[in-house]
Amino acid sequence: MAEQTGRREAGPAAGPDGEPVSLWERLERPPVARTVLTHEQIAAAAIEIADADGLAAVTIRGLAARLDAAPMALYRYVKGKDEVFELMVDAVVGAEPDLPPAATWREAMRAQAHRTRDTTLAHRWLIQVPPQARAALTPRRFAAIERSLAALDGLGLDADHRMAVFDTVTAYATGAAATETTMLQLMEGAGWSSGHELRTALGPQMRWLMSTGRYPAYQRTLTESRHIDDASWRFELGLECVLDGIACRLGI
């Protein structure tokens, strides 16, 4: 029987129990396919795991299993687990839909902020990714920044102010999206499905804290608020404030 190239016998010299494995047992074992992966496949598999079971479920072993590969085989493609995270973030950034060309800087910034929020909510594990992996300088991230900065050209702003505008909108969008996502996860973890339940079924600790009467302003705000469940409303109002402020202070 001709040997298949590209494959070979799985031949560990010893089993997990330390007992040497006989030649015959080795011949009996199915040949293990040589792993040929791409970074895209790794990223996609990791994202599937994270979307389904959370970021903590993304382990080298689990990822390898999903890819039908040996755990150590992944290290041919990444230097360590951190790079898996980088791949995940880059893939998610790359999968974002292209923004339609914006007529004004304001539209461009608004669209970018909304996209940041959408992506964060679609992949809630993003906020748990170690910051250094999230901030990694990848081509797709560069491209995203480039597009936003390009939208700020021709407004008479110098480089410092262009950067400041971009950073300010980004800071607001990431901060707001992170807070919203965290709250969603907190509610899910507690088995609540909406903010309303959160306030009526109020967690014991929260109820106790409120009942002390030490937080009147907070309590009043919570009970009187009508848009409290409407995170979109709050995000958009805040965003318009930020954009207004930029327009106002920078005269654009």
Is 174 a binding residue for a copy of itself by CB under 8 A? The answer is yes
Contact 158, 250 (CB under 8 A): no
Could you tell me which stretch among 42-50, 60-68, 97-105, 220-228 binds a copy of itself (CB under 8 A)? 220-228
Rounded Cα distance, 90 and 135, in Å: 10
Site for DNA in 45-84 (CB under 7 A): 58-62, 69-73, 75-76, 80-82
Site for a copy of itself in 179-198 (CB under 8 A): 179, 181-183, 185-186, 189
Is 132 a binding residue for a copy of itself by CB under 8 A? The answer is yes
* SS3 at position 20: strand
Fill in the per-residue mask, 38 to 77: x = in contact with a copy of itself (CB under 8 A), - = not in contact: ----------------------------------------
Task: Outline where 75-227 has alpha helix (H).
Answer: 81-95, 105-122, 131-134, 139-150, 159-189, 195-200, 204-211, 216-224
Under 8 Å CB-to-CB from 83, ≥6 apart: which residues?
A: 133
Contact 48, 62 (CB under 8 A): no
Is 178 a binding residue for a copy of itself by CB under 8 A? The answer is yes
14, β-bridge pairs: 20
Is 201 a binding residue for a copy of itself by CB under 8 A? The answer is no
Tokens of 83: 């790079």
Is 29 a binding residue for DNA by CB under 7 A? The answer is no
Is 27 a binding residue for DNA by CB under 7 A? The answer is no
Q: Please name the residue that has the structure tokens 């705000």.
A: 221
Site for DNA in 1-20 (CB under 7 A): 3, 5-6, 8-16, 18
